[in-house]
Structures are given as C-alpha cells and as structure tokens.
A and B are shown apart, each in its own frame.
Chain A
Amino acid sequence: MQKDEPVFSDDDVVHSVREGNTHNFEILVDRYKNKIVNFIHKMIFDHDEAQSLAQDVFIKVYETIGRYRPQDNFQSFIFTIAKNLTLNYIKKQKRMLWFSSSPGNSGQDSSANERYFRTEAEQHDLMEKDRQQLLVSEGLKTLKENQRIALIMKVYLEFSYNKIADITGWSVPKIETLISRGKSSLKAYILEAQDKSPNKNMQEKSQLGVLEVRSI
C-alpha cells in the first residue's frame, strides 16, 4: 500500500459524481475554487460578488456535468462556464447602471463602469504599492471584456493560447489580436494616469524609458 493518498484525475472524480457520488464533487470544488475566484475577481474586481459568482459557477458545473466529455479538458470546461457567467454578470450590471443613470449620463458607459468599480477601490489604502495595483486594476476595467478575458487568462493565469482558444471558442489569431490590443490600451491608460497623477514618480518613469518614448 502506498503511503501517499491516491491522486484522482479530474475525469475520475467526474465519473464518480456522475455515478451518483455527489459528495465527491467536493474534490473538484477544492481543486478549482481559488483559480475560479481569482479569475472572476480580476474580471469584476468585487471580492464578495466574485465569491458568490464562483459558487454559481460550481453549481452550474454540477448541473451540466453530464455534458462534459472525457476527451475534453475539465479545466477548460469549468473555465468556459466561469467565463460565460462572468460575462452575463457584467452585462447585467451594465444594464442596471444604464437604467439607474440619468438620461444625460446614459451614453457615458466607461464613466458608469468606473463608478461601479470604484466602490472596492475606495476601500484600499492608497499606499504606493497599492496605488500601482489600483492603477493596473482600473486600467483593466477600461478594457473591452474580451480583451480583459484574453489578457487575464494569458498573463495572470498563464494559460497557453491553445487553452484560451479551447475555453473561449475564439481562434488563436483573434486571441493574439485581443491580447496585443489589450496590452497597448493598458499601457496607454497607465501612462496617462501617471501623467495626471500629482505624485508621479519621475524616477520610475525615466528608468522605464517613458520620457524617451514620449519625445518620439
């Protein structure tokens, strides 16, 4: 008998759950909960909503586990559901903001987004490190949803292009374009924000060659 506990593959656990051993679903929840919560959090930047939405993802996974084919990758399966539910959530939030905003502000989608997302940002202590992170978070929020999904999956979760294609159903060239445009937009946002900031860190900028680039 081996000392270590046997490591069950995702497919083994899925098979067991399908046979009626619902309690084994716990293994899958434990295995993926942090990844899913993190992904959703980086998409919506709301801690409580990310937790709640991640729970919905697992409920949906359980309900649709019959559709999972063993030849597919379970991680892709679960992230596809997470992506879809997150996009639905964002759409719903945007609709709510659109209806709650006055007619004069209805067209200002990005400002509405900022207002919604800033609630959590306000809770942060604006220390320098936090300020940088906040800047990146704010920059990510300004990206189009598809760009954000592609960028977070590639850069933050370190998924390969093929895996992203598997999850999203997009072609690899489309993902390349989304990531490239996402990085450019984020870069432009950060530079602009640093420019406007009264505490801009000139030393850091010059180190990065920002001033040199701007002069061109």
Chain B
Amino acid sequence: MNKRCNEIRTNLSKYQDSVPGYELLTPQMREAIGLHLEECGACRAQLELLQMVTQQVKSLPEVEAAPNFTAQVMGRLKEKQQRQLFSLPSWVYSFVFVLFLALGFFITYTLESPGSLDDSGQLQEEMFLAQTLTETQDLRLMAVQDSSVELMAGAGSYGD
C-alpha cells in the first residue's frame, strides 16, 4: 500500500458519510478521492468493506419496548410522587434536630446552675429547722423556770 492509498483510506469514512448538503470533505478532496477510487481496485474494495460493515450495523434487529413499558414507567413515577408527598423536606428534619439540641442544653444548664431551685429549697428547710430548734429551746427554758418557781413555792409552804 503506497502513501497515496493510505491517505485515501483514512478519509474513506468521511467520503462515505458525505451527503449533498452535508460535506465532511472539501470539494477538492472529494474529487481527488473519487478519481483515485476509479483507478485503485484495492481502495475501492476497502470502501466496499466499509459499506458492508455499515449495512450490517444498520440491519441489526430492532428491539421493541415491552408491552407494559409505559404503564411501568408511569407507575414508578406515581410511586415516587407519593413517597415525596409523605416525606418532609430535609430542612424540617434539621430544624427539629437543632430544636431538640437547644432544649437539651437549656435543661442541663438550668439544673446545674448555682442558686438553683433545689438549693433554695434546702436553705428554706435549714432555716425552718433552726427556727424550730430555737422555739423548742425557749419552751424548755420556760418549763424549767416554771418548775423552779413551783419548787420554791412548795418549799415555802413546807416551812409553814
């Protein structure tokens, strides 16, 4: 195969696919290839082989969509739409998550802070106990005083 044939064969596909109104080659190239093909049987055979290959690809059997193809597609679409209808947008899930997180922080902070409700309750209880103790002590003192007065009075009457 000479250089000329090689050059022609690299452009044979374009030569084959060129149609009036859609040229893949310049008119000069097309003419040159046409002239060469008239003279060179080997290049002509190569073009015929390309045509045979093209024809065989064209004649591959057609495959049809399954009879229920459209129904299946529409069914899948409907299913998808229903799923989307019941599912919330993702930002709603994010919002709820952040809300719970904030609530958790708030509760934790409130329970652990100084002077909390628990502490003040304990303080009140202690004050109450102290007050009760003081009152009890006062009552005891008063009782002791009363009994000593009675004893003194008793002693006085015994002497009589």
Using a CB–CB distance below 8 Å, which chain A residues touch chain B?
Answer: 22-23, 25-26, 29-30, 33-34, 36-38, 41-42, 47, 50-51, 54-55, 58-59, 62, 132-133, 135-137, 140, 151-152, 154-156, 160-161, 176, 179-180, 183-184, 186-187, 190-191, 208-210, 212-213, 216
B50 engages A187 (CB within 8 Å): yes
| CB-nearest residue of chain A to B59 | A133
Counting chain B residues whose Cβ lies within 8 A of the other chain, the interface size class is 35 or more
CB distance A29 to B54 under 8 Å?
Answer: no
Checking A42, A179, A208 against B13 with a beta-carbon cut-off of 8 angstroms, the contacting residue is: A179
B56 within 8 A of A: yes
Q: How far is the CA of A161 from the CA of B64 in the complex (A)?
A: 25
Q: Of A51, A135, A161, A187, which contacts B66 at CB under 8 A?
A: A51
B61 at interface by CB-CB < 8 Å: yes
Pick from A37, A140, A213: contact of B65, CB below 8 A: A37
Whether A208 and B70, one on each chain, are in contact in the complex, defined by CB atoms closer than 8 angstroms, is: no
B14 cross-chain contacts in A, Cβ below 8 A:
176, 180
Closest to B71 in A: A26
State whether A176 touches B13 (Cβ < 8 A).
Answer: yes
Do B58 and A156 touch across chains, with their CB atoms under 8 A apart? Answer: yes
B interface list, Cβ under 8 A from A: 1, 10, 12-14, 17, 22, 24, 41-42, 44-46, 48-50, 52-54, 56-66, 69-70, 72-74, 76-78, 80-81
Report the minimum CB–CB distance from A197 to chain B (whole Å): 15
* Chain A residues, Cβ within 8 Å of B77: 22, 25, 59, 62
- Docked pose: A210 CA to B56 CA in angstroms: 16
Residues from chain B with Cβ under 8 Å of A59 in the complex:
73, 76-77, 80
Q: Select one of B22, B44, B45, B58 contacting A155, CB under 8 A.
A: B58
Q: Tell me if A's interface is mostly helix, strand, loop or mixed.
A: helix
Beta-carbon contact of B81 and A209 below 8 Å: no
**B13 engages A26 (CB within 8 Å):** no
A55 and B69 contact, CB distance less than 8 A: yes
Cβ of B12: which chain A residues have Cβ within 8 Å of it?
180
A33, B57: Cβ atoms under 8 Å? Answer: no
With A55-B69, A176-B14, A216-B42 as known contacts, state yes or no: A209 contacts B48, CB within 8 Å.
yes
Q: Which residues of A contact B52 (CB under 8 A)?
A: 208
Given A37-B64, A38-B63, A55-B69, the answer on whether A160 and B53 have CB atoms closer than 8 Å is: no
Which residue in chain A gives the minimum CB-CB distance to B10?
A180
Q: Say yes or no: B74 contacts A26, CB within 8 Å.
A: yes
Return 28 A-B CB contacts under 8 Å, by A number: A23-B74, A25-B74, A29-B73, A37-B63, A38-B62, A50-B63, A55-B72, A55-B73, A133-B56, A136-B53, A136-B60, A140-B57, A151-B57, A155-B57, A176-B13, A176-B17, A180-B10, A180-B13, A183-B13, A184-B13, A187-B53, A190-B53, A208-B48, A208-B49, A209-B48, A212-B45, A213-B42, A213-B49
Closest to A182 in B: B13
Picked from A23, A26, A47, A135, the residue with its CB within 8 Å of the CB of B63 is A47
B63 to chain A: which residues have CB within 8 Å? 34, 37-38, 41, 47, 50
Q: How far is the CB of A202 from chain B (nearest CB, A)?
A: 15
Q: Which residues of A contact B58 (CB under 8 A)?
A: 155-156
Task: Beyond the given A33-B65, A37-B65, A59-B76, please list 9 additional residue pairs across the A-B interface where CB-CB is below 8 A.
Answer: A33-B69, A59-B73, A59-B80, A133-B56, A176-B14, A176-B24, A179-B13, A183-B53, A208-B52
